A = this chain, B = another copy of it.
Amino acid sequence: MSLSGIFPIDRWNFTTQSILNVLSEQDYSDLVANQSDLKYLKGDVVFREGSVPAGIFLIRSGKVKKYKVDSLAKEQIIYVANHEELIGYHAVLSGERYPDSAAAIEDSLISFIPKEDFISILHRSPAFTQRLLKALSHEFTVLTNSISVIAQRTATERLAIALIVLREKYKDEDSDVQDIILNISRMDLANMVGIAQENVIRLLKEFKEEGIVETDGRKIWIKDIKRLIKKSNYK
């Protein structure tokens, strides 16, 4: 799962994608018995920091950003969740309010599962519980990684890392196209990397001049992943 044999991409992704695989057919159908499917348009909020969780969300298709909003209205994106990922379950498990918010960054189809059903399956299936423990522990690795990078790396390195991670998320499984197109705003990029939006633009320009990326309007093509990894200065 290592990208180009150098960049440890698995340290940047949660593994919630396969969580539900450990459920028996019966357990799975019980879990989703009362689910409701909802369409979210780009920008729509799924849940908001500080509110009380009523259940968990399973992303059927699309992409969702998890973020915190600072007192000064500055947004920090913590993670971008992909299709098949589970979100919003931490707060249910810890019995707290949501510590972050979630919003669709592209049109998404998301199933809502009431927390009672989630908890009931959790009590019934030790395998599911074990799988969740494993997933949460892996998340710890991912967040730990993020803290260290945000605190210690330069803006250029951080942007490079963000692009590498996003490339993986935007890679369509069944196509072998080399140039992956990222469909993400400069603003969202800035909020992932923790720098000003203007600086994202300037750094992208730099990458463009070096042939690492190409842009057309708001689209971003990754042209040279090898040099992007070099830019990221990873390990």
Binding site for B on A (CB under 8 A): 11, 68, 70-72, 74, 76, 78, 89-91, 93-96, 99-100, 122-123, 126, 129-130, 132-134, 136-141, 143-148, 150-153, 194, 233-235
Contacts and interface: CB of A to CB of B under 8 A. Distances in A.
Nearest to A192: B151
B148 A147 contact: no
Given A78-B147, A90-B137, 20 more contacts: A68-B145, A68-B147, A71-B234, A72-B152, A76-B147, A76-B148, A76-B151, A90-B140, A90-B141, A93-B133, A93-B134, A93-B136, A96-B141, A99-B144, A129-B133, A132-B133, A140-B140, A140-B143, A143-B144, A147-B147
B144 A78 contact: yes
A71 B235 contact: yes
Of A89, A132, A140, the most chain B CB neighbours within 10 A belong to: A140
Number of this chain's copies in the complex: 2
A141 B91 CA distance: 9
Contact of A100 (B93, B100, B144, B146): B144
Of A70, A144, A151, the most chain B CB neighbours within 10 A belong to: A151
A77 to B, nearest CB: 9
A233 B134 contact: no
A148 B234 CA distance: 22
